Amino acid sequence: MLKIPTILIAVMIVIVIVTLITKFSDIGTGTVEPKSPNPESVIPPVETNPKKQQDDYLRNVSYNNAIYFEDAFYNWQNLFDIFAYNSNDSAFSINDSIARYQNLVKIIKNPNREFNKAGSDKILQEYGDIILEESAYYKLDWRLILAMIKQESAFTPDAVSHAGAYGFMQIMPRTGSMLEQTLNLEDHRSPVNNLKAGIYYYAMLVGRFDGAGDTNKYKFALASYNAGSGHTEDAMSMAYYFNENYLDWDVVKEYMKLLAPGNDSLHQLVWGARPPNGVFANWKEPYNYVDNIIWFWQQYKKNYPLPEDNPKSNIKKKKKK
């Protein structure tokens, strides 16, 4: 057990040294010039550096190191659990420790999702008409909305979050007041109005990210519904700065990590200050939120199939006639 403090002290010393090196490294003074006009939709409010040498240096110094430390210490409790493993146990071995760690990481990164159709059947019986009607009006797949309700409130009409979000669609009070005026609703807390307001708000976000194309626009809108469009656009801006595809959610979600506190030098390089919408400590929530809803969406597609899901079978049927 005496080895544990020594290991922890060594880890802390390494973190301090690398942090100091990263903070005080000379990052170059190349001229920053605006990039050519962006494609349509959201325009990242950043400039890019045409000098590849500095760009590569920034990647190595700031981006890769930040990702490395995030991955290394994301599950520090599990690492501690492994280091604290009873070395006097005759069954202990290095291979066993590695296997336990890999299993822990697998569980955390890929949580078991349980699918139960009972909840969705019930809500469709009670509120299916309004869900289908509103979804059709905004040209959304109602099964995606069903997945959102599942993730947001577990189909509980009066669910209240610790932050005060309410109802099926977990609408915050301030947003709810705005939506009441926009949609001329008496309230946003009754189940029907909560669905109307939430579906409208999500549809508005989908429209905002329409330039990202099918699938991606839904993912960006989901991230924005959860964390606010500001943080989503900051992550897009960072991806754009590094000449990555800022309209691909799978690319952008990795940059969302770098909005967290502790990346001040990187933020200074991209914006000359803090991110426009502030640092984002809770980046893990939208990161996982999008994946969860997309997964539930796929399950509902399987359980509530529509003719348009399999256009080839429709063509065959028409030919037979």
- pLDDT tens-digit readout, 135-188: 999 999 999 999 999 999 999 999 999 889 999 999 999 999 999 999 999 999
State pLDDT tens for residues 32-71: 333 333 444 464 555 554 444 444 434 443 444 444 444 4
What is the chain's mean pLDDT, rounded? 77
Sign of CA dihedral 97, 101, 104, 110: negative
Return the minimum-mean-pLDDT range out of 19-28, 79-88, 230-239, 306-315: 79-88
Q: What is the mean pLDDT of residues 79-105?
A: 43
Rounded Cα distance between 142 and 144, Å, is 5
DSSP state letters, 225-253:
HHH-HHHHHHHHHHHHHTT--TT-HHHHH
Rounded Cα distance between 45 and 276, Å, is 9
Rounded Cα distance between 61 and 79, Å, is 25
User: Structural domains in the chain?
Assistant: 3-34+48-109 (no CATH), 117-309 (1.10.530.10)
Q: What is the mean pLDDT of residues 98-112?
A: 48
* 149-155: Cβ within 8 A, 24+ apart: 149/123, 149/195, 150/119, 150/120, 150/293, 150/296, 151/289, 151/292, 151/293, 151/296, 152/198, 154/119, 155/119, 155/120, 155/122, 155/123
Q: Which residues are catalytic?
A: 152
pLDDT score for 208: 96
Grade residue 310 by pLDDT with cuts at 50, 70 and 90.
confident
pLDDT score for 309: 85
| Residue 279 structure tokens | 């640092």
Rounded Cα distance between 280 and 256, Å, is 8
Grade residue 315 by pLDDT with cuts at 50, 70 and 90.
low
The answer, yes or no, to whether residue 26 has pLDDT greater than 50, is no
Single pTM value for the model: 0.67
pLDDT score for 291: 96
User: 109 or 151: whose pLDDT is higher?
Assistant: 151
Judged by phi (left if over 0) then psi (alpha if -120 to 50, else beta), residue 172 lies in beta
The answer, yes or no, to whether residue 23 has pLDDT greater than 80, is no
pLDDT score for 20: 61
Amino acid at 2: L
Rounded Cα distance between 218 and 214, Å, is 7
pLDDT score for 76: 39
pLDDT score for 270: 96
User: 173 or 25: whose pLDDT is higher?
Assistant: 173
Rounded Cα distance between 302 and 133, Å, is 21
The answer, yes or no, to whether residue 111 has pLDDT greater than 50, is no
**Partners of 160 in the β-ladder:** 166
Phi, psi at 132, each rounded to 5°: -70, -40
pLDDT score for 101: 47
Q: What is the mean pLDDT of residues 114-135?
A: 91
pLDDT score for 255: 96
Rounded Cα distance between 226 and 286, Å, is 6
**Partners of 33 in the β-ladder:** 48
Q: What is the mean pLDDT of residues 291-306?
A: 95
Instruction: Give Cα 146 to chain centroid, integer Å.
Output: 18
Rounded Cα distance between 139 and 135, Å, is 6
State pLDDT tens for residues 189-211: 999 999 999 999 999 999 999 99
